[in-house]
Structure 1
């Protein structure tokens, strides 16, 4: 089975779990889990049985067992019986490792599963470490755990592990978010150059290798110069054996060359996990071949697991201290949120603001179509761009990065203040976010050699990866990055977001409830207005009728009595007009808008004729400009223009001449009409009252009116989702503007 060819097109997908080879310090046999028929065997079996391994493919394991000079020592069972009985009793872990003698030498047998197969691996029980590793590790664990600070604990671990296994260099290697690693602790022989603080690119340990480190918590490469042994199987089958759980699994050729280029002849690694993910490795390098047996590796695995738990705890403890500090600020903001009705004011106080819950130098709240900034932030246009990017690219409720310009290239122009961002989403649909910014922090990274992998062209033309040959410090200046966001900062933001969302939801529910009450009250008011107005008209009619009868039929009335009755009749007429206006106003609230195209030229000319007939102005100049058509309810729009044109003619009657102008302009999105006059105008003290019901200005008391017309105009315009506003100057006239959205 040929080794996998690694080139630039497949480095990250090299199937290192099915390389088809094992390291040569042991041998491998795979059997069918049910029948114990041999399905795979390593070629180097011939060293142990003086026969070709291919001769045993398809045969029973017992036949091979007879050929091997085995003594199971701890059991009278055969290997076939052993893996069956132990498998059913306590699982395969109960077997491993099983001590036996092979050609009078002590060997461990390790059994694992691989699909339908059981893999039996045999490796020497003797080791190059001659001390009681398990007992020593017990003492070392106590030493390591006695250290409180995380950095110091990792350094202690490196020192203790070097003392136990005697490798030339022990490094604690921590993975970054992007997969690249950094040496954060080191113990070494004095003659070796230090690697402490050096960075290694992610490609040195590809992602598929990192996944295997999460499964196999220890990994040994005993001798980089040994020749691997191929695993053979039936030619008809020719399916590679999955060696995911194998101890003897061979190593990628490119990694072997990488170690050789470093001058390393043996390596051993212990995985460090935190929260189920690969936090880093304890990487052990030796500069001559060195073998550690299964029991020693198992003890080292235990040390790694305890150290993983300890670093997870220590890291959590340090994060907890930071979170407790930051959360004091969050709690203050939460108190303000509980008391304030305005979220902006709650989050931006003089004594505490959203900027104070992490190490950001600037923060932004984008809420209810408003951008509120504090500290150093991009400008509003740039923030709007960030919000649009977040709406598309943000999959979770919280997003953070310390290298935003490398991800969103448009942000490079403000990298000095916004190389790092931390954003929490309040509403994707409304584009509402809280965003924190960290400034650029130019870093000087020292890599173990040039991190760009060199390539060589092979005979077939493929560019084949060639591990770097120099590991001398290679300095790289990294721009467009900020200080990283730590776990405590992210946790504080998550906590704040939950409370902000809660307050927004609660306030939205309160507003919805108030709207329901307002709607109900509005409907009741409409019904009340209609009912009262309708019921008042009957007695009012009677008053008017009786007044007219008294004036007509009673000859004995003196002049004063007749004047009083005339006054009663006039007041009744005025009250009747007022009731009609109220009815009109309440009916508009009940009516649905029946939209249709409106011929505005025809409508305005008709209204002009009716108003002139009704008011009979003496000296009027009436100008009609462009009259583009609009969409609306013809009856309601007629009311709007009738009221405004009637007012323009009426309130300009004392001007000589009185001038009324009507003109419409059609734009891309809206059509705007202006109705202007040169009449009495409106005092700026009354601007806020113009569209309110029954409000009339002091300077129009000599003109007839009810104070309802403009309120009707406002209500109709709002039902059309249009806009109305005005400009006016006392004694110089008024211009009303009507804006209708184009369909």
Structure 2
């Protein structure tokens, strides 16, 4: 026997069986609406003998039935030839007996099912009761089982939920008589093979009225050419029928529980004696199941919203507290109770700045260090979770008490990591018979099939070494928590960096002002000194000279006061702000030239004065800018035989362009790139007094005034500075 036999064991083509159950009949038409097949029991339903024959048109077949209400076949079949979209059901009478007639297009064919009408009308008048029972019940699934029992009267109605591993468990049940309850029982995955599960997602109701009834063959089409996936009266697999016999039931019914497009579970019904529930009962049951699903989803949505509110509250506290607490340790410590509640954990351990902190039930320090070392070596992900971690066993080989572990590792980024622990929960599982899959070989199909189980006696199994599984929403919260901590810490770091940068900026500006005071106050101080010396050393000076000297001294003192006031204001406010005003440089340029000529002892200075336009700026800053530029021009041309400096201005687009030039020592092209660096001095300027601060002050002032400054120079020929002051509207 080759391996393909085993690989096909769950692939019995149950939808291609070519047979139906005895309680209905099936008539088939092709896409051109001509009859191509029928079940051999069609005459037993009372169909007129002239209604069914090969090639009979669908229209004539419908006309033979003498249906009281006309059927619009075009509307039913339009655009639905290739896929199942809807099923049209009509009431008909055959030989004065009520029947259901179902029409639906599928697989390029038109299917017609006919089965007898047998349900009680009162069942359909109590839909409000069914809905209210579900709404008022604390257990939706228990109420659903009771409702389905009311509609179908099966001996046993079970709500069967599939697990992630594929097996299933009875989570609710309603039983009558002396049947043994199966609530909590588990069933192995192979009891409901995959091909059956796929069909449950296509057609939501399946019934077997009598496991011993002989199936009915279909004439006209070979079984493998007839897809009965959507046929409600399709015959059941012999394996499934034998399974039901072994379970000592004669009839069964199943209704799909579909949630978010997936098969979540089944309403599984059993009866000790043969039992038929008709199409209307099945449709009502499907409606009640869907109502229960909607109620379940609504409750789940409320639960999810409450969970989100809790998690958002924690995230908000983390973000807020990281800016008010000293460190991450205090923030997490204050939230451990909330974190344990949200994640349903027994303990937390977290490490910050290489120090561990343990809260609640968690491994002791030595075991925790071993765990951390293990995860550091084996897990590279920032986030991880397990529900069956084996841990490190001690000498007595006892089970590790915390198989449920989740962790966030931010050690590389924040020197922080956190573990969440769940204790072991021993679970006693009760299985409906020992879950052992046995295969039998069908030589006619050369395929192995799972053998129907013969024992459904309770078989118990103790599951150890596991903790409650981490739910998807809990994992999502862990991801969100990791991102929140990182973002909050990063934001705090950025804020600190911004404050540091601001502090550095303030210190730099303060430093600049200190140099400004020591550098720029020299001019007015030199003027005061020279004037005072003249008054002291030259007796008999005229009143006119003394008046002019006194005015110059008062102007110098006023200038120094203004500069000192601006420095004090800056120091107090941490940021030197000013309001723009119109500044007229012509008022102080003559004084700057005179003071600098005295200071640098230049006797024969030639000064070319052009047009001096007003500037939008701040008076003291503009004064300091011109003081440094004109002072440098005079100083560095003072050794020339005929020293020359000049100043001129003009309107250029949105700027007032000032040019200041001299015929001094000049500089090379390489030096012009560094000319505004603080403390940088030209190699050919060492014979002149200076500290390399003046032009750095000029650059800072230009930046504060949003002005642009540039320089052109040639070595030993002179320098031209251009300053563009923006014109404010």
On whether the aligned pair clears a TM of 0.5, the verdict is: yes
- In the TM superposition, residue 93 of structure 1 has moved relative to its aligned partner by 7.4
Change (3 A) 1:239 1:95: closer
Match of 1:670 in 2: none
Match of 1:110 in 2: 102
Match of 1:26 in 2: 24
- In the TM superposition, residue 515 of structure 1 has moved relative to its aligned partner by 9.7
- In the TM superposition, residue 170 of structure 1 has moved relative to its aligned partner by 1.4
- In the TM superposition, residue 227 of structure 1 has moved relative to its aligned partner by 2.7
Change (3 A) 1:63 1:355: closer
Match of 1:480 in 2: 465
Match of 1:420 in 2: 404
Q: Using the alignment, how far apart are the partners of 1:74 and 1:277 within structure 2?
A: 37
Structure of larger gyration radius: 2
Match of 2:254 in 1: 269
Contact 1:327 1:357 survives alignment (8 Å)? no
- In the TM superposition, residue 115 of structure 1 has moved relative to its aligned partner by 3.4
Q: Using the alignment, how far apart are the partners of 2:10 and 2:390 within structure 1?
A: 26
Query: Aligned pair count?
Result: 503
Q: How does 1:531-610 map to 2 (within 5 A)?
A: none
Change (3 A) 1:27 1:387: farther
Question: Does 1:142 find its partner at 2:132?
Answer: yes
Contact 2:205 2:255 survives alignment (8 Å)? yes
Change (3 A) 1:106 1:93: farther
For residue 345 of structure 2, give the secondary structure of its aligned residue in structure 1. Answer: coil
CA RMSD of aligned residues (A): 4.8
Q: Using the alignment, how far apart are the partners of 2:398 and 2:49 within structure 1?
A: 72
Contact 1:274 1:311 survives alignment (8 Å)? no
Match of 2:286 in 1: 301
- In the TM superposition, residue 71 of structure 1 has moved relative to its aligned partner by 2.6
For residue 453 of structure 1, give the secondary structure of its aligned residue in structure 2. Answer: coil
- In the TM superposition, residue 475 of structure 1 has moved relative to its aligned partner by 0.6
Alignment gaps of 5+ in structure 2: 513-729
Match of 1:681 in 2: none
Match of 2:112 in 1: 120
Q: Using the alignment, how far apart are the partners of 2:69 and 2:157 within structure 1?
A: 36
For residue 256 of structure 2, give the secondary structure of its aligned residue in structure 1. Answer: strand
Q: How does 1:164-243 map to 2 (within 5 A)?
A: 164-231=151-218, 240-243=225-228
Question: Does 1:442 find its partner at 2:429?
Answer: no
Contact 2:250 2:271 survives alignment (8 Å)? yes
Contact 2:349 2:362 survives alignment (8 Å)? no
Residue 100 of structure 1, aligned match among 92, 100, 106 = 92
Q: Using the alignment, how far apart are the partners of 1:438 and 1:493 within structure 2?
A: 15
For residue 119 of structure 1, give the secondary structure of its aligned residue in structure 2. Answer: strand
Contact 2:18 2:224 survives alignment (8 Å)? no
TM-score (normalised: structure 1) = 0.57
- In the TM superposition, residue 303 of structure 1 has moved relative to its aligned partner by 0.9
Match of 1:452 in 2: 436
Match of 1:71 in 2: 66
For residue 401 of structure 2, give the secondary structure of its aligned residue in structure 1. Answer: helix
Contact 2:319 2:488 survives alignment (8 Å)? no
Match of 1:620 in 2: none
Change (3 A) 1:424 1:64: farther
Q: Using the alignment, how far apart are the partners of 2:177 and 2:21 within structure 1?
A: 31
Question: Does 1:290 find its partner at 2:279?
Answer: no
For residue 145 of structure 2, give the secondary structure of its aligned residue in structure 1. Answer: helix
For residue 271 of structure 1, give the secondary structure of its aligned residue in structure 2. Answer: strand
- In the TM superposition, residue 87 of structure 1 has moved relative to its aligned partner by 3.9
1:691-714, CA deviations, whole angstroms, 9 ceiling, x for partnerless residues? xxxxxxxxxxxxxxxxxxxxxxxx
Q: Using the alignment, how far apart are the partners of 1:362 and 1:267 within structure 2?
A: 48
For residue 283 of structure 1, give the secondary structure of its aligned residue in structure 2. Answer: strand
Alignment gaps of 5+ in structure 1: 1-5, 529-743
Contact 1:171 1:284 survives alignment (8 Å)? yes
- In the TM superposition, residue 438 of structure 1 has moved relative to its aligned partner by 1.4
Match of 2:343 in 1: 358
Match of 1:160 in 2: 147
Contact 1:402 1:484 survives alignment (8 Å)? yes
Q: Using the alignment, how far apart are the partners of 2:378 and 2:218 within structure 1?
A: 52
- In the TM superposition, residue 323 of structure 1 has moved relative to its aligned partner by 6.5
Match of 1:379 in 2: 368
Residue 487 of structure 2, aligned match among 498, 502, 510 = 502
TM-score (normalised: structure 2) = 0.58
Match of 1:37 in 2: 34
Q: Using the alignment, how far apart are the partners of 2:409 and 2:11 within structure 1?
A: 35
For residue 281 of structure 2, give the secondary structure of its aligned residue in structure 1. Answer: helix
